[in-house]
Structure 1
């Protein structure tokens, strides 16, 4: 489930494709309810992108989040789940070719600028079996070129492999407002605070405090995108004040909660 405590979602069917009709193939989906796929893999690269809504991709390495200005690369063979918020307008791109396979390894979140967004929208209007050697094929190549050089952004939440830390992280994903310190958690997990702090940094690259803050900020995106009041979102995420939430949000995303989604045209 998404890393924001939301557990009410319906299962979305995975398309049964034996092969792609073209090296670059698009799927359009209008998803009214919150939906998620079962864990699966496929033999081509996938770009999960939403014109509207917030996407979450879960792998064994961590969770990746994409609001409308972002998209998530998923490499071929990577086992993953995809979750979307209610009323999501999803545009999935599937890529099968040596160029994309070399460029996309694992999962990562990229920035979608205005040009790339419009290229995606136009490409998704093409017939499935577009003319690869004509203008449509050239459009597909320009789109692929833009995607492969897009700037990567840090909208991911790495997960530890240590069972004790993973238990802690799973609990916080369900309860982001839990404010217990690592010292308090050490008493429940059977390890010293020093050991947990060292393991957390080694396995996630983040301190416990930074990880929990990132969890809360990424988890706030769906509620903000739905238009929920900033004060409600802040308290629901575990912040003691709206001002503290806004300051942390601005530092991480480069925009205030009120302005972040207004950037989407």
Structure 2
């Protein structure tokens, strides 16, 4: 499917929890949007998390995998790179506006061979115009570039409960702890501790959605008190877990 039949081609998917779309890439851009459930997109550029009503933008030729949380409904839009100026060179998580949400539903329902010159074609143009104005969110976890550090972080993403210390990773990478911390900060903009905290909080979003219980999620994420989890979550994402849960239900 190297050539898209139209500027935008949509696919509707309902996925069981834990479904994994293995590592792959394609020559068109992709917008993947979660109606229900949480999507995780792993790539060499970082990890990107889309709760319900958020979307992940994946540029052409970027190798990635997509993992679904609990039963997930998503809409995939494959976009011909020649049809829009906004083919970013990096993945990003986008806040989907109410208008864009309705456009997503409408464009996803179009026939594959919609009329480019008719109302359907004009609707797609509005969809593309609105896409470029969406705000970027903070559900992004940067990845280090040094191969040994990238491998360690990727292993952590695949096994979130693994308890690795800076010393463990330094030994694996044949680096001193000080060199590892300096390299990690330079390549990701975060210390390893900050990276690990953000990763755990991003993973907590799936638990929040599944349990709808802040205290249960706090303890499952490793926080000794609910209040410390709430404070850390708000520092990272700008809103409390309770407020975030309300956005999932909107």
TM-score with structure 2 length normalisation?
A: 0.90
> How far 1:115 moved relative to its partner?
0.9
Please name the residue that 1:14 is paired with: none
Q: 1:258 aligns with which of 238, 242, 246?
A: 242
Q: RMSD of aligned C-alpha atoms?
A: 2.2
Q: Which residue of 2 aligns with 1:6?
A: none
1:88-128 alpha-carbon deviations (Å, 9 max, x no partner): 11100111042436532221111111111111011112222
1:201 is aligned to 2:185 = yes
Query: Does residue 130 of the first structure (1) align with residue 119 of the second (2)?
Result: no
CA distance in 1, matches of 2:223, 2:169: 19
| Conservation of the 8 A alpha-carbon contact between 1:42 and 1:77 | yes
| Cross-structure match for 2:18 | 34
Matched residue SS, 1:92: strand
Encode CA deviations 1:64-90: one digit per residue, 9 max, x unaligned: 111123211111111111111121111
Deviation at 1:21, TM superposition (A): 2.0
| Counterparts of 2:86 and 2:101, CA distance in 1 | 23
What are the residue-to-residue correspondences of 1:1-265 with 2, within 5 Å?
Answer: 17-100=1-84, 102-173=86-157, 174-176=159-161, 178=163, 180=165, 182=166, 186=170, 190-264=174-248, 265=250
Distance in 2 (alpha carbons) for counterparts of 1:168 and 1:79: 18
- In the alignment, the residues of structure 2 paired with residue 32 and residue 154 of structure 1 have an alpha-carbon distance, to the nearest angstrom, of 26
Is the CA contact 1:45–1:100 (under 8 Å) kept in the aligned structure 2?
no
Distance 2:82 2:3 in 1: 15
Query: Which secondary structure does the structure 2 equivalent of 1:77 belong to?
Result: coil
Mark the runs of 5 or more structure 1 residues left unpaired by the alignment.
1-16
Q: How far is 1:29 from its partner?
A: 0.9
Q: Distance in 2 between matches of 1:63 and 1:37?
A: 14
Q: Conserved in 2, the CA contact under 8 Å of 1:176 and 1:215?
A: no
Secondary structure of the 1:38 match is strand
The answer (yes or no) to whether the contact 2:34–2:74 under 8 Å persists in 1 is: yes
Q: Which runs of 5+ in 2 are unaligned?
A: none
Question: What SS is found at the alignment partner of 1:39?
Answer: strand
